[in-house]
Chains A and B, each alone.
Chain A
């Protein structure tokens, strides 16, 4: 079939006007700002958001399926987690600094370079443990390897915010924050693949073990997502309302609301 449109030449003046619009480099300053806003999201993605989970709907579908909705909330969740971990990272850094000060008192001067580890390769756990660097009881210690942000930074930034842990630090068992994260990662993965009751069981475990944990908002977001995904709408709404009452300023709030909106019809 001959296309009648192609035979109708456009007025040259209009063609010029449209050609200028095509090549006009508009919104350059917006692009920079946008890049900064999205760079955070990109860090969140690097931290391991399950974005590559295969989903069935094509890009043209008008309604995202619930899986996409959870992935959406996943991005928001990662975003907050990245921010949260930056704060935690600072605290960890301070804690490790305290350890180093202690160690400096306890160790001979020759041992110091190994402990001032931020500039040297991380010692392997097989090296003799610097047992004097063990923190006093009650000081919270986080295995830096359990922090996604630390991994992300280690690959790119020449001077990571977090100093490398001493040998004894990396040999320590997973700490509460790492364990909290592990549980929530498990729950999030379960939500992502639609295993809502498994997710809820994991979240219950988290609640039992960490009633006053560091990641309560994230847990409750996941709970709303899992309940909504499982079709337990009334409970999902109850938990969402509780969330809103308890954390009115939470940046998870949009994701909580979205979880209610994207439950299957």
Chain B
């Protein structure tokens, strides 16, 4: 690689990061990554982006490309033993109130308790992915079907079911105080 190419890559990468880093982190969060783990996982995602830079097509919208990375890393994350263990830990009583908290901790807690994420947490992984892509990323059903390698009808049925469950969860959660955070994922079969 010539120096000029390296510099061009560097600049393109920085530009991509600058414009879409928050999108990547939000996507990870939407896909079930806990707030405290989002930054580390986003770091992994962007390193992977650098490694697979040869598959970047500047002529196409970058977010779907980035989302594919986020999706893979979030899936691996959800399946990891680490997360399962953490979820068990969460059944411990929350820290006593009045304990000193940093702004960062407060931010993470606020993230944790956001209604939209808590409702997303009640969806199964398949439905959650389709719902996120359609409702939050506003991607077409055709696009989603192609990306996930599933039939369009499956996209429709998952989306319909996801909408119903999401709506029910929002209603239920709005009626409850946000703490302690419910561990909806634990209840899944």
Contact = CB atoms under 8 A, between A and B. Distances in A.
B2 to A, nearest CB: 9
Interface stretch (B21-29, B80-88, B89-97, B181-189): B21-29
B7 A155 contact: yes
B21 A34 contact: yes
Nearest to A52: B1
A43 to B, nearest CB: 8
B24 to A, nearest CB: 9
Interface residues of B, number: 54
Interface in A84-141: none
Contacts of B155: 5
Interface string B114-148: 11100000000000000000111010010000010
Contacts of A52: 1, 5, 9, 53-54
Nearest to A55: B54
Nearest to A72: B51
Nearest to A50: B1
Interface in B165-180: 166-167, 170
Grouping DSSP codes into helix (H, G, I), strand (E, B) and loop, the B interface class, with mixed when no group exceeds half, is: helix
Contacts of A62: 72
A168 B33 CA distance: 57
Interface stretch (A15-23, A169-177, A206-214, A232-240): A15-23
Contacts of B159: 5
Contact of A53 (B47, B54, B147): B54
A64 B22 CA distance: 25
10 tightest A-B contacts by CB? Answer: A27-B25, A30-B39, A59-B55, A21-B116, A31-B21, A46-B10, A72-B51, A5-B156, A51-B53, A46-B6
B19 to A, nearest CB: 11
Contacts of A28: 22
Contacts of A31: 21-22, 25
Contacts of A151: 3
Contacts of B51: 51, 64, 68, 71-72, 75
B48 to A, nearest CB: 8
Given A5-B159, A29-B104, A41-B47, A34 B42 contact: yes
Given A38-B43, A42-B10, A18 B135 contact: yes
A158 interface: no
Given A18-B116, A45-B9, A51-B9, A10 B39 contact: no
B178 to A, nearest CB: 14
Interface in A34-63: 34-35, 37-38, 41-42, 45-55, 57-60, 62
B46 A38 contact: yes
Nearest to A17: B116
Contact of B22 (A3, A14, A26): A26
A39 B169 CA distance: 40
Contact of A4 (B3, B26, B156): B156
B39 A60 contact: no
A14 B167 contact: yes
B26 to A, nearest CB: 6
B111 to A, nearest CB: 7
B39 A34 contact: yes
A26 B160 contact: no
A56 B9 CA distance: 19
A75 B107 CA distance: 32
Given A35-B21, A62-B72, 18 more contacts: A10-B135, A10-B163, A14-B163, A17-B115, A26-B111, A27-B22, A27-B25, A27-B39, A34-B17, A34-B39, A37-B43, A45-B50, A48-B3, A49-B6, A59-B69, A64-B51, A64-B52, A75-B47
